[in-house]
Structures are given as C-alpha cells and as structure tokens.
Structure 1
Amino acid sequence: MKIKIIIADDNSFIREGMKIILNTYEEFDVVETLNDGKEALDYCINNEVDIAILDVRMPNMNGVEATKLITEKTKTKPLILTTFDDDEYILEAIKNGAKGYLLKNNEPERIKDAIISVYNGNNVMQDVVLDKIKENLKEDKGEKEDKIDRSLFTERELDVMSLIAKGYSNKEISKNLFISEGTVANYITSILNKTSLEHRTQIAIYYLKGKLE
C-alpha cells in the first residue's frame, strides 16, 4: 500500500516539482497539490491522506495554522517543508503537532526517508532545526523559562527525554538504552502524564527549554 501524500505550497513550481520527484518513488502516491493551508485542511478532512507536506508561508491559512487543525481534525500527519527564512515559525509548528520539520534544500532521498519515518510514527527534525529551537528559546526574553523539576522523573525517564530532544525514534532510544520499544513507549506515556503534554515533540521542547540555563 502506497503512502498517500498531499503537498501544499503557494509556489506552483515547487509543489508540482515536488510531486514529480516524490511520485518517482514506488512508496508514494501524491494524491493532490494545493495552494494554501485551508485547501490542505479541507482535503484532509474529506479524503484519506497519510502525510501532508506543508509550506509555512501561504495565503488564507499558513502552514502553522493548518498543522494545528489537521492534527486536531484528522489522522493525517503534517510535515513542514520550508526555508531558513521561516525559522521564526519552528516552535509554533512543532507545538501545533508537526511530525517533521525539514528545509527545502534537502536532497530528495533525505525528504523521502523523512516522509517514511513520519509515516511510521517517528518525528523528524534536522539538527539545524533543533539548533534554531535552542537559539529561539535563549533569545526569548518575554517568556519565563520553565525549569525541569528532576524530582518528578526517574533517571530513565530523563534519559528518554534527552534522546527525544535529540530527535531519536523509539527504536533508536531502545537500542541506545538497551530496553524494549514497548518499555520506551511506557516511559513516554508516563512523561506525558506527568507534564500534561500531548506528544513527543512537546517533550523535546519542554526538555530543551528546561535545560537552558
């Protein structure tokens, strides 16, 4: 079964070019290309879509807003594909449920691997994106930083949080910590319950924010 993908970008050259590239891979079926976030949201609500590749800057509804609503209203997994100029949106996109955040200058194989990884339940963030998150948190003077209360968590939970913040998948965490993937999932559930967070990307932000002194 092929992974059903939509591409939303207000630049027709980019979205149609991306469609041609992705359809060369036997794993993918690009079912639609769209002009903006609103069109992407409507399509995901009315059709079965596995992955929504979203640009950030789009008319009518940008990729950050579309990510939030697609996550809330559908089972589609949003993946942001954008430029360095959009780094101001990184945190909001991730908070809104983006499962991946990649730059447009990536090679097609890198984008292919990211789509498959997100489809399989992982989160994908490039190192440069994680660096931008850290920079944005350091520069944010208007918001009081949350500090991690280490007493709330076991040492193993802190280890899991640290690896999530590095972008590790559950499989990679299990190999790194020599525990089963099921145990990793249990730790993540425990962390979410203790922090009232909703998903692993929020854990990454929570951990990075708390670690910044």
Structure 2
Amino acid sequence: MKIKLILADDDVLIRESLKIILSMDKELEIVEVFKNGKEAIDFLLKNNIDIAVLDVRMPLINGVTATAEICKRTNTKVIILTTFDEDDYIKEAIKNGAKGYILKNTPPQKIIETIKMVYEGNAVLQDAVLTKLSENIKMKAESKNKIDKEKFTERELEIMKLIAEGLSNKEISKKLFISEGTVKNYITSIFQKTGLTHRTQIAIYYLKGEI
C-alpha cells in the first residue's frame, strides 16, 4: 500500500520537480499538487491523504497557517519543505502540528526518507534546522534560566537530553541499557508533565532550558 501525499508550492518549477522526484519511489503516490495553501486545505477536507508537503510562503494561505487547519481538521500529517529556516517559521509550524521541517536543498533521498519516517509516526527536524534553532535557543536561555529539575526524575532528564541530541528510542535504549518500551514509558511521562505531544517539542523544550 502506497503512501498518499500532496504537494503545495507556489513555484511551478519546484512543485513539478518534486512531483517527478518523489514519484520515482515506488512506495509514494503523488495524488495532487497545488499552488497555494487554500487549495491544499480544500482538497484535504474531501480526500484521505497521508502526508502533505507544504512550502512556507504561498499566496492566499501560507504553509504555517495551512498546517494549523490541516492538523485540526484532518488526519493528514504535515511536512514543511522550504528555503526559509528562520526560528519563527520553525516554531510556529511545530506549534501548529507540523511533523517535519526540512530545507529545499535537502537531497531527494533524504526528503523521501523524511516522508516515510513521518508516515510511520515520527517527528523529523532536519539537522541543519535543529542546529540553528538550538544555537539561538541556547543564547536566549543563557539570559533567562528557567530550569526546574524537581519536576522530572533524573532518568527523565537524561532521556530528554538524549532526545535533544537527536537520538532515537532505539539508540537511547542501547545507551542507557534499558528496553525501548521503558524509554517510551518515560517519554509518555514527560509528555504528561509538560503537555507536549511529540519528540521535537521535547528537544526544543529541553534546549530552551525550560526544565
């Protein structure tokens, strides 16, 4: 069964190029392409699509606003694909429910891998984007420390740190010599204590010093 996805980008060359590139993977099916966020939303409200790959800056409704509507009103998972890596775009898109955020200069295979990872339930923030975001967050955290370690157990703090370093559940389990199931239980506890909903938010939460 193929992963059904749509693309939305106001640049026709990028839009069609992505369509051709992604269509080369036998596990992906490009159902439709759009030139703005409004068209994407209207289509998704009437069709069951697994993944929506959206550009940030589009006419009528941009990618960030479209993400909020799509995540609120459909089961489609959103990946932001853009040339812009400004903090505000990243944070707003994640806040609105985006499960992936990568740059357009990312190699095609990496984009395909991201789509598959998000489809499987993972949140993906490209290394270059996470590094930039982390650096700026750390600078702000230095001037305003919000650490409250009493809120979490030592193990939870350790797992949050490893998530912020980009480790998967499997890698964390190996590093800490515990099962993946135990790692998932700790992450669930972290979600409950923070009100967060996915791993990328935990990484940002940790890096901002809000622990």
Fold match (TM-score > 0.5):
yes
Q: Any idea what SS the aligned residue of 1:46 has?
A: coil
**Which runs of structure 2 are paired with 1:97-108 in the superposition (5 Å)?**
97-108=97-108
User: Distance between the aligned counterparts of 1:63 and 1:145, measured in 2?
Assistant: 31
User: Distance between the aligned counterparts of 1:4 and 1:31, measured in 2?
Assistant: 6
Contact 1:100 1:124 in 2 (8 A): yes
Contact 1:192 1:198 in 2 (8 A): yes
Which residue number corresponds to residue 179 of structure 1? 178
Which residue number corresponds to residue 203 of structure 2? 204
User: Distance between the aligned counterparts of 1:210 and 1:165, measured in 2?
Assistant: 11
In the TM superposition, what is the alpha-carbon distance from 1:86 to its structure 2 partner?
4.7
In the TM superposition, what is the alpha-carbon distance from 1:68 to its structure 2 partner?
1.7
Which residue number corresponds to residue 69 of structure 2? 69
Contact 2:7 2:19 in 1 (8 A): yes
Q: Any idea what SS the aligned residue of 1:33 has?
A: strand
User: Distance between the aligned counterparts of 1:113 and 1:14, measured in 2?
Assistant: 19
RMSD, matched Cα: 2.2
Q: Deviation per CA, 1:126-185: give whole Å up to 9, x if none.
A: 2211122124435669xx956231111112211221222233333333333332222222
Which residue number corresponds to residue 134 of structure 2? 134
Q: Deviation per CA, 1:16-65: give whole Å up to 9, x if none.
A: 11011101100100111011122222222211111110100111111111
Alpha-carbon distance change, 129 to 84 in structure 1, aligned in 2, over 3 angstroms: same
User: Distance between the aligned counterparts of 2:145 and 2:117, measured in 1?
Assistant: 30
Relative to the length of structure 1, the TM-score reads 0.89
Contact 2:8 2:33 in 1 (8 A): yes
Alpha-carbon distance change, 210 to 40 in structure 1, aligned in 2, over 3 angstroms: same
Moved over 6 A (4+): none
Which residue number corresponds to residue 120 of structure 1? 120
Q: Any idea what SS the aligned residue of 1:78 has?
A: strand
User: Distance between the aligned counterparts of 1:175 and 1:69, measured in 2?
Assistant: 38
Q: Which runs of 5+ in 2 are unaligned?
A: none
Q: Any idea what SS the aligned residue of 2:166 has?
A: coil
Aligned length: 210
